[in-house]
A and B are shown apart, each in its own frame.
Chain A
Amino acid sequence: MEHFPALMIVLPLLAAPVAAALPNGRLPWLLTTAVSWGVLAMACFLLATVLGTGPISYEMGGWAPPWGIEFRIDTLNAFVLLIVAGIGAVVTPFAGPSARAEIPQRLQSLFYCLFLLTYTGLLGITATGDIFNMFVFLEISSLSSYALIALGRDRRALTAAYQYLIMGTIGATFFLIGVGLLYSVTGTLNIADLAERLPALEEARVVHTAFAFLVAGIALKLALFPLHLWLPNAYTYAPSAVSAFIAATATKVAVYVMIRVLFTVFGVEFSLGEMPLQPILVVLSVIGVVVTSLMAINQLDAKRLLAYSSVAQLGYMAIGIAFGTTLGLTAAITHVFNHALMKGALFLALGAVAYRIGSTRIHDMAGLAKVMPWTILAFAIGGLSLVGVPLTAGFISKWYLISAALEQGWWWLAVIMLITSLFAVMYVWKVIEVAWFRDLPESRADVREAPLSLLVPVWVLVAANVWFGIDTRFSAGVAARAAEALLGVAP
């Protein structure tokens, strides 16, 4: 039990080479599914423990922090771990049939090996309490996700992966420069220790430079507008299961790293008060939300449309972070959770479409609701959640964000959020209109509903969207506790 923080990283890490060694077929998939469910169970246990008895500190190899590597689980990262593990546990069953259809037979076991490594990296970034360790896990997850994206069927997947590799490596190296500069003035890499020593050094220019490098590096990974250029292609051309997994987790973990660095390492007064980050984040995010929402409306491919909408949604999270208030941070963390649910559901629904018709171009989806009603209905409910219609998870996020904006007296920001929600109606409607109201072409008359093995994961996430739209005690409640702990107002 007390080894769970390490075990949930070690388990997928050890399973990865095993999956690669297994023969191509069902075995690697079954192993991955078993591992992801095991990790989910551990994540649930950790969150329950943290909520009950407070933060857990795990000493890697028995070396006491700050010398050894510490895994530190508090409310925030236990929550993010649960998101990553939960999405992983839903996507892996889906990946079985979906990857069999999209990935060459001879690469099946390597696919699951990469999948497990990405999973390891994302969990590791979230669990670790050591900032250099964070960089290492960041690179584990990034390198394996570049390779996963390159497995897409279209040859443009290769250029997308290449572009992501260049941008991602620049981002990670910026992060490394920031870590190096911090180490040079503080002599420590432990996050809790850094947080203790930095306030005395706030005047030092090295610390300011380190802050700039860290934020720029994370912003690249987070796909903050205008550093999002790698994201649309990567999400569009990756295999369906990979798009769903990465869209729902990778950028969310980057948001977590941003929150951790801004609020735990540097502290809110320094990050948003002394450094001019608040205006930068707000201006860039607002422009980003408007521009990428408009670009989403103009897309011809449904996956690409969702990718642009992801950049817009990440803008909402960045706005929540930029407020620097408990309500703003609660909004950002709640949206991390809710957005993982809605984008997971939407990308999985498109994965089911791609499984049956081999395309996600909006034009090719004409009339599909007549033959695949459950898949399109799932897409529609996910879309409503993305728009922020009441009784869906998206509404809760928007509600908190707008309350946080009004609390600051920034009513113009609330107006912009409402306008961009209307843009979201337009791009979601664009897909629904074609799939629901256009006539089904003759050539698609024999298309059948997606198999149950694909529909069940999709509907689990859709149900979660509705559930957390009605009962917010868990999602927003835990997010509020995490925000209070980060800003130091908690008891």
Chain B
Amino acid sequence: MDVLGHYNYWIVIFLMMAGLYTVISRGNLVKKIAGLNIFQTSVFIMFISFGYISGSAPPILEDGVTLYSNPLPHVLILTAIVVGVATTALGLALVVRIREAYGTIEEEEIHSQDRDF
């Protein structure tokens, strides 16, 4: 099996793990959102990779072309990107509100403030 030939899937796995690790390990709320974004992006690349067939043409009818890429994953991912943007926007808006209410965006400090409360 050609290991490096599937390099796009290695990128997907790397980004997925890096994103998920950032979400779990970081205490900074903005960095968590960034990690979540990287995690989601890896899935976008995965979907787009599924749609491509080696040596295929864009899905526009043309004479002499028989092998086309599948356009559907791209369309799905356009939807997923919109969802991702909305999630990020909402997440960051919540961080702004949290900062207004607590004066910090570090998870540890927020927890200790809530305990004192």
Contacts and interface: CB of A to CB of B under 8 A. Distances in A.
A170 B20 contact: yes
Nearest to A140: B83
Interface string A128-144: 00001001100100010
Nearest to A185: B50
Given A150-B97, A183-B50, A159 B90 contact: no
B94 A150 contact: yes
Contacts of A161: 94
B8 interface: no
Nearest to B46: A180
A146 B90 contact: yes
A177 B43 contact: yes
Contacts of B43: 173, 176-177, 180
B2 interface: no
Given A166-B32, A169-B36, A136 B79 contact: yes
Contacts, number: 68
Contacts of B83: 136, 139, 143, 172
A184 to B, nearest CB: 4
B98 A170 contact: no
Interface residues of A, number: 25
B17 to A, nearest CB: 13
A218 interface: no
Interface in A155-173: 155-156, 158-159, 161-162, 165-166, 169-170, 172-173
B40 A184 contact: no
Contacts of A180: 43, 46-47, 50, 73
Contact of B114 (A143, A156, A170, A183): A156
Given A176-B80, A183-B50, A165 B94 contact: yes
Given A170-B20, A173-B43, A143 B90 contact: yes
B97 A143 contact: no
B114 to A, nearest CB: 6
A147 interface: yes
Contacts of A166: 23, 32, 36, 91
A242 B95 CA distance: 21
A147 B50 contact: no
Contacts of A176: 43, 80
Given A150-B94, A155-B101, A143 B50 contact: no
Among A132, A135, A166, residue most surrounded by chain B Cβ atoms (within 10 Å): A166
A7 B34 CA distance: 38
Interface in A442-459: none
A180 B50 CA distance: 8
A180 B95 CA distance: 31
Contacts of B20: 170
A139 B43 CA distance: 15
Contacts of A183: 50, 72-73, 76
Contacts of A143: 83, 86-87, 90
B40 A146 contact: no
Interface of A: 132, 135-136, 139, 143, 146-147, 150, 155-156, 158-159, 161-162, 165-166, 169-170, 172-173, 176-177, 180, 183-184
Given A155-B102, A166-B23, 4 more contacts: A139-B86, A150-B94, A159-B114, A170-B36
